[in-house]
């Protein structure tokens, strides 16, 4: 294959085409129509392999077939067919994404079956942080959060965070309670439905410095820390510990200062601040 064809073939790779498949399509795109034998000779590929490639390109809608079985001719369809492939990939991705909560829930139930009373799970890095964050969408009724002083948006991208908040809303979370050492919070979301169920209170860091983020829900206590700029996360499944942490959170919550919501994007400030 020439340098030009190699370059085009590399551009077609993200669309799911192998180098040989791209080569066959490019040759056909230049010609009116060709037989498998002609393609085999021109590309120095066995005729058996050429037929397999042509069948694959036909399935993708990039090649049309005419003529009888023993005298078939192959024609390249418009390159605009690639747009349909992109739409198909997008639909497949949306389907996978929509099934992700169910998959997580089912797999988590299998993991929890290993222990009736308690279990400790450790995670490291961004993917680990994403896993425990998504797991928190299983919260029923209320999610309680001791908000770490560090800005977690430096580790979780905005689109993922928004997907988590949408999932909370979809699952019918009743309230998200947040304790923070920050007297002011800048707008942080476009999911106004989540802001509706979100409450936040300020706790003086001299009374309780929040250097570790803690999530409490159901029978689960999740803790995040940042070690050498790398997230380290622990999930503890234990009903007694979860109950104790809920009671501790509620005790602190009762003494904390309510913050006023400033908008439907999550902006807030301590009530005593002007």
**Residue indicated by tokens 């699952």:** 171
The winner for highest mean pLDDT among 92-106, 165-179, 224-238 is 165-179
Check whether 7 has a pLDDT greater than 90: no
State the pLDDT at residue 251: 94
Mean pLDDT of 23-30: 87
| Residues 92, 212: Cα–Cα separation, whole Å | 38
Q: What pLDDT band is residue 274 in, cutting at 50, 70 and 90?
A: low
Domains of the chain, by residue range, sit at 3-79, 115-270
Statement: the pTM of the whole predicted model exceeds 0.75: no
CA angle centred on 135, ends 129 and 136, rounded to 5°: 95
Mean pLDDT of 137-142: 94
| Residues 106, 104: Cα–Cα separation, whole Å | 6
What tens digit of pLDDT does each residue of 157-193 get? 888 999 999 999 999 999 999 999 999 999 999 999 9
Q: What pLDDT band is residue 111 in, cutting at 50, 70 and 90?
A: low
The CATH superfamily assigned to 115-270 is Endonuclease Chain A (3.30.870.10)
Domain 3-79 indexed as CATH 3.40.50.300: no
Please report, for residues 11, 46, 106, 139, 225, the alpha-carbon distance to residue 135 in angstroms, rounded to integers and kept in the order given: 37, 51, 12, 8, 17
Number of helices followed by number of strands (H, E) in the chain:
9, 12
């Amino acid at each position: 294959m020439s340098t030009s064809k190699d370059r085009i073939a590399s551009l077609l790779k993200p669309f799911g085409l192998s180098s040989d498949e791209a080569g066959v399509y490019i040759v056909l795109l230049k010609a009116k129509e060709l037989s498998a034998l002609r393609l085999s000779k021109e590309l120095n590929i066995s005729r058996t392999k050429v037929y397999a490639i042509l069948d694959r390109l036909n399935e993708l809608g990039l090649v049309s077939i005419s003529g009888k079985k023993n005298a078939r001719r192959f024609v390249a369809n418009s390159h605009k067919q690639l747009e349909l492939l992109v739409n198909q990939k997008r639909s497949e991705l949306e389907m996978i994404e929509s099934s992700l909560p169910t998959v997580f829930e089912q797999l988590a139930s299998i993991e929890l079956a290993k222990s009736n009373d308690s279990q400790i799970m450790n995670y490291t890095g961004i993917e680990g942080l994403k896993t425990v964050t998504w797991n928190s969408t299983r919260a029923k009724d209320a999610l309680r959060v001791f908000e770490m002083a560090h800005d977690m948006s430096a580790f979780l991208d905005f689109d993922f965070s928004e997907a988590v908040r949408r999932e909370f809303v979809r699952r019918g979370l009743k309230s998200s309670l947040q304790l923070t050492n920050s007297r002011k919070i800048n707008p942080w979301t476009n999911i106004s439905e989540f802001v509706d169920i979100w409450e936040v209170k300020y706790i003086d860091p001299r009374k309780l410095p929040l250097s570790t983020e803690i999530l409490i829900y159901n029978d689960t206590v999740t803790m995040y820390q940042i070690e050498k700029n790398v997230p380290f996360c622990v999930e503890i499944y234990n009903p007694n510990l979860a109950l104790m942490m809920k009671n501790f959170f509620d005790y602190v919550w009762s003494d904390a200062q309510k913050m006023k919501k400033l908008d439907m994007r999550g902006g807030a400030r301590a009530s005593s601040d002007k």
